[in-house]
A and B are shown apart, each in its own frame.
Chain A
Amino acid sequence: MGIAAEAPFHVLAVDDSLIDRMLIERLLKTSSFHVTAVDSGSKALKLLGLVEDEQINEEPPSIALEAHQDVEVNLIITDYCMPEMTGYDLLRKIKESRSLKDIPVVIMSSENVPSRINRCLEDGADEFFLKPVQLSDVNKLRPHLLKSKVKDEEDQQIHDKGINETEVIAPDKTIPKNIVTKNG
């Protein structure tokens, strides 16, 4: 009897440069990650199941609609300088999303701008890599993925515990705070 083989971690890579997409894909695959590479932030959000309000109706965009996430992504690695939506914009949208905020995000940039790096790290990026990205950089990803996996498992345990306990429904039918729901 063997231990069930774990599925490799799935990394979503975002970069408008074809060369850099090819490079990051090779780096990630060499490190045994499963990779999906897209060329824009909006394509990344679409894949993650996050659809912007403005794409559906004419009203001014407010909150992004949280659609069901069809594809499981364990880490997002994105270029900073991209037209339309920068890597920073993408980072913010992910961190503002209830369903996506716990996915580790890594930013890449060819420019060494300390204020830019600090801002990304302060606003939720787990790492900032200077381009060209090296294998030694990619090796730094696994701890973030493992930490995220542990957190997922903890959340799942809390969730399961909540289901098993007798539900206490308040008179106004709200769900008590100690039951944590995850991802709908």
Chain B
Amino acid sequence: MDTNHSRRQLAAMKQSLFDQGLLDEQFIQLEELQDDANPNFVEEIVTLHYRDSSRLISSIEQALKERNLDFNKLDTLMHQFKGSSSSIGAKKVKAECNLFREYCRAGNAEGCMRSFQQLKKEHAALRKKLEAYFQVSRV
């Protein structure tokens, strides 16, 4: 088991996520809260985030199917989604959330739908990359 190799690989993966603008400083803050007593804190909180955010995505999806969009409800759901994303340092996802909320406030249904599609893509992409990251961290 070459732990040096996996440690380097891990560092490279993390750097890449930062370079691509997918993660921000908050992710580092989470890592700093991890210690011997709480060795899996980052993975635990990220896992919880994906459980939470998946639920919110479903709710938003449902809300977007309504004939007359309830922009207040959508904004509230997205506020929660943004908060959760922000807490794990999901930089790009957070930016998409802001865009969505701007469309909500403008009452722009088409804009909401478009930005939501983009948001789901970013959300799924980061999830995949973080799963790979944690997989390597467990080696």
Contacts and interface: CB of A to CB of B under 8 A. Distances in A.
Q: Do A and B bind each other?
A: yes
| Dominant SS among interface residues on chain B | helix
Given A17-B84, A18-B52, A110-B86, A23 B45 contact: yes
Contacts of B33: 23, 26-27, 30, 135
Interface string B12-56: 000000000000001001101101001001001100110010000
Contacts of B35: 30
A134 interface: yes
B45 A22 contact: yes
Given A26-B41, A81-B79, A110-B79, A19 B84 contact: yes
Contacts of B30: 23
Interface string B44-73: 110011001000000000000000000000
Contacts of B107: none
Interface string B74-87: 00000110111011
Interface in A5-60: 17-20, 22-23, 26-27, 30
A29 B80 CA distance: 24
Contacts of B48: 18-19, 22
Contacts of B49: 19
Contacts of A22: 44-45, 48
B104 interface: no
A132 B41 contact: no
A61 B45 CA distance: 40
A22 B52 CA distance: 13
B13 to A, nearest CB: 22
B119 interface: no
B93 interface: no
Interface residues of A, number: 15
B88 interface: yes
B29 A20 contact: no
Interface of A is mostly: helix
Contacts of A116: none
A71 to B, nearest CB: 24
A74 B55 CA distance: 35
A69 to B, nearest CB: 31
Contacts of A26: 33, 38, 41
B87 A19 contact: yes
A26 B38 CA distance: 9
Chain A to chain B: the 4 pairs with minimum beta-carbon distance, closest first: A26-B33, A132-B87, A110-B83, A19-B87
22 contacts: A17-B83, A18-B48, A19-B87, A19-B88, A20-B84, A20-B87, A22-B48, A23-B33, A23-B87, A26-B33, A26-B41, A27-B33, A30-B33, A81-B79, A110-B79, A110-B82, A131-B86, A131-B87, A132-B86, A132-B87, A132-B89, A135-B33
Interface of B: 26, 29-30, 32-33, 35, 38, 41, 44-45, 48-49, 52, 79-80, 82-84, 86-89
Interface of A: 17-20, 22-23, 26-27, 30, 81, 110, 131-132, 134-135
